[in-house]
Amino acid sequence: MASQPLFSTLPPTIEWRDGDLLLLDQTRLPHEIVVENIADVKAVWRAIRELRVRGAPAIGVAAAYGLCIAMRDSTTLPVALYRAELERHANWLEAARPTAVNLSWGVRRMLRHARDIDAKDSATLHAALVEEAKRIHDEDRALCEGIGEHGMPLIREGIGVLTHCNAGALATTGIGTATAPIYAARRAGLAFKVYADETRPLLQGARLTAFELQQAGVDVTLIMDSAAASIMSQGLVDLVIVGTDRVAANGDFANKIGTLGLAIAANHYGIPFYVACPSSTLDLQTASGSRIEIEERDAEEITHLAGRRIAPDAMQARNPAFDVTPHALVSGFITERGIVRAPFERSLRTLFDAEGTAA
């Protein structure tokens, strides 16, 4: 399977070019295509926090490169001071978004690599860190391809597939997670239909998923989040595939708010519900979904639309960015090593080691 999706109109989500970090600003899509040259680690933190780069896998890659940006002017420091400064930046960068495990996974992997390298000077250590970030980037593309390969058999000629938020190419540096089987099936010549939830309040499904699938020539229809159950009731949906930001050891998982409702509706109508999950998004150190920290975002995201207030003045609001779906509602996890089925606590640990990475 090719490493790029079927469209060629978009620049890469993330690019490392001769020491410069380039990010596609996803807040401007689909109407503007703007690539930012990220100057410093503060700009990386803001890009992650403000969703200019988003999607758990892409955040992990951006964070790894972000540490390279943070440390590029510190190569004259003694090695011990370089490592200490690196850890300070890592701790700060990790706090940008708490739910997506790839963020902490990426920065912790970079820290482990820095500790493991027997470097006599900081310049050598820095060069090794840049190479490690590039490996993380390459691995992300490979993980997406593996998910596409193992998930494609779930998609049959003529079926309807529903997805939520954006777990596509724009959320990764490859062909996406939830969209990887879709792109693989499209390349294989299968004809099928995709329903994309709009995904309130920031409309990632409307702005990003519907856009990239349309660009790729996939038959996609945009629906309101609240229409999903009705569409299911009409027999139009045969399969649900969503992404995830963190999977706990027992198979509970966190994903964009609204996923739990989809899982409940799919269970009611007997529709298979699959989660596309690269190993970098597994958190086998967290026992269950009740232990996953859920990011609460600014109330203005739901009290305002396109900068204009739509709710009454002084209205209280809750804006959790994610919800947790219990493992009992999951048909299986599509990973780069195969589809994992219940009992998840045993099967996930069988396929992956205790660190949450491929065994």
Residue type, 240: V
Q: Which of 62, 119, 122, 124 is nearest to 93 (CA)?
A: 62
- Residue 52 annotated as part of some ligand binding site: no
Neighbour tally for 233: CB within 10 Å: 12
CA atoms within 13 A on the CB side of 216: 27
- Residue 54 annotated as part of some ligand binding site: yes
- Residue 97 annotated as part of some ligand binding site: yes
- Residue 49 annotated as part of some ligand binding site: no
Spatial separation of the C-alpha atoms in residues 261 and 250, rounded to whole Å: 20
- Residue 102 annotated as part of some ligand binding site: no
- Residue 358 annotated as part of some ligand binding site: no
Spatial separation of the C-alpha atoms in residues 279 and 339, rounded to whole Å: 12
Any catalytic annotation for residue 197? no
The three-point CA angle 200-245-133 to 5° equals 125
Name the catalytic one among 140, 225, 238, 245: 245
Q: Are strands 20-24 and 14-17 parallel, antiparallel or unpaired?
A: antiparallel
3-state secondary structure of 52: coil
Spatial separation of the C-alpha atoms in residues 21 and 48, rounded to whole Å: 13
Spatial separation of the C-alpha atoms in residues 316 and 251, rounded to whole Å: 33
- Residue 55 annotated as part of some ligand binding site: yes
Binding residues for substrate: 54-56, 97, 204, 255-256
- What residues act catalytically? 245
